[in-house]
Structure 1
Amino acid sequence: MRLPGVVPVRLVLADDEPLLRRGLRVLLEADGRVQVVAEAADGAALLDAVRATSPDVALVDVQMPGVDGLTALRTLLSRPDPPAVAVLTTFDLDDYVATALDLGAQGFLLKDAEPEALIRAVVDLAAGGAVLDPRITARLLPKLRGGRLKSNTQLDSLSTRERQVLALVADGHPNAVIAAELGLSEATVKSYVSTVLMKLGVDNRVQAALVAHRVGGTW
């Protein structure tokens, strides 16, 4: 079903299980907000598909034969203007998720997430948001306390407005939503986000979100 006036997010779906890809495609395309423009069974096919279709978002399984998902991510995210990338994972792949975080993935989703949550995640990723399944966050944070993320003392340097922006980034909202929520222009929000990343000493919105989640409501 295609919603009138809605331009669907163009998505490449990479997973080595054909039945899973088929099921995810049906779920993701159900209401017209997402269009799967290509599927890939391994990392090499993913890179070819991205090159051929120029998608807005790629959902990538990290464990695939041949060229695995992490190797493909390393190549993909080093290219100019890559798509937004989210990792599809399961509970037993925490170390892979941490590595994908270092590589610059913007989202981390579990394969058993609710259909609406997956669709919303893809839409938010295309708009520039950062997406973290709460179940992944809970398992990933203990592994990052040893030094992958900077100390949360940098939070003390954030202004009140910067903390508001960080809270909305931590909820996965893209700049347009943050701008509407705070009554700011998107350009101003973009500037705030850049400043927050710099002050926190992190590389991207997902890492900033993890810093916020790590300290909870204490900041």
Structure 2
Amino acid sequence: MRIDDGAGTAAEPVRVVLADDEAVLRRGLRVLLETAGTVRVVGEAGTADEMLSEVRAHRPDVVLVDVQMPGKDGIEALRDLAALPDAPVAAVLTTFDLDDYVAGALRSGAHGFLLKDADPQVLVRAVHDLAAGGAVLDPRVAARLLPKLRAVGDRDHEHRLVRALSAREQQVLGLLADGRANADIGDRLGLTEATVKSYVSTVLTKLGAQNRVQAALIAQRAAGGGVR
């Protein structure tokens, strides 16, 4: 997947799999996401098992999962997805913004939590941010939930984990906590995107975080609002 090659050449669209048990909503979301021509829905699924099958068949850049599906719900589906080799980036896209759903999704490896009634341009931009290595959280969810999540955890322990990172790793973490995608982090630090990905992977491992959202929350708790 290539969003911008910097030479005016048409970029390849972000490849997406949609998992939602309501076919009518899936069709609406497909139209919404594909209108601008920068996103292509390569697979649709109504259950968790169908989602895994579509992911294996199409190898998408991003998977958008609803919370409520028959059989395994979206939270369980995220856990199954995260267990796949080379699992794609996944985010919840749902009508429900209950705190338990958000927390469960983030614990299960989601890189974001989006609401279906968001502005279409916001959803398309979120898909691109996810594909570029970023993390996304609907502002309405973030405003209510982040203060609670920041208060959870052993702040002293997390502070020690963050301080044990190298200076460069702390720089990467600080930019990651600001919601920067890998390409942006690389531009700011003079690193290649591949090098940034390696740093991010190392940071997640050292912090014991499953994804970028969890790492950002650890950074914010450890530093009382951010690592700089």
Q: TM-score, normalised by structure 2?
A: 0.80
> Equivalent residue for 1:133?
138
Q: Is the CA contact (8 Å cut-off) linking 1:11 and 1:36 kept in structure 2?
A: yes
* Secondary structure class of the residue paired with 2:200: helix
With 131-140 and 194-203 compared, the bigger mean Cα shift is at 194-203
Rounded Cα–Cα distance in structure 1 between residues aligned with 2:83 and 2:156: 23
Rounded Cα–Cα distance in structure 1 between residues aligned with 2:156 and 2:48: 31
Rounded Cα–Cα distance in structure 2 between residues aligned with 1:30 and 1:6: 15
> Equivalent residue for 2:211?
204
Rounded Cα–Cα distance in structure 1 between residues aligned with 2:185 and 2:109: 21
* Secondary structure class of the residue paired with 1:216: coil
The question of 1:79 aligning with 2:88 is answered: no
With 14-23 and 52-61 compared, the bigger mean Cα shift is at 14-23
1:1-219 equivalences under 5 Å are 5-141=10-146, 142-143=148-149, 145-147=151-153, 151-154=157-160, 155-157=162-164, 161-214=168-221, 215-217=224-226
Q: Is the CA contact (8 Å cut-off) linking 1:86 and 1:108 kept in structure 2?
A: yes
Q: Is the CA contact (8 Å cut-off) linking 1:150 and 1:200 kept in structure 2?
A: no
How far does the alpha carbon of each residue in 1:141-187 deviate from its partner, in whole angstroms, 9 at most, with x for none?
31563339985423444565444322321233322221112222234
With 19-28 and 73-82 compared, the bigger mean Cα shift is at 19-28
Rounded Cα–Cα distance in structure 2 between residues aligned with 1:128 and 1:92: 23
* Secondary structure class of the residue paired with 1:35: strand
Shift of 1:130: 1.9
- Classify 1:89/1:151 alpha carbon distance in 2 versus 1 (closer, same or farther; 3 Å): farther
- Identical amino acids, percent of aligned pairs: 64
Shift of 1:90: 4.1
Rounded Cα–Cα distance in structure 2 between residues aligned with 1:140 and 1:196: 24
Match for 1:177: what amino acid?
A: D
Q: Is the CA contact (8 Å cut-off) linking 1:150 and 1:202 kept in structure 2?
A: no
Shift of 1:121: 1.6
Q: TM-score, normalised by structure 1?
A: 0.83
Rounded Cα–Cα distance in structure 2 between residues aligned with 1:206 and 1:218: 14
How far does the alpha carbon of each residue in 1:94-118 deviate from its partner, in whole angstroms, 9 at most, with x for none?
2122122222112221222222221
Aligned length in residues = 217
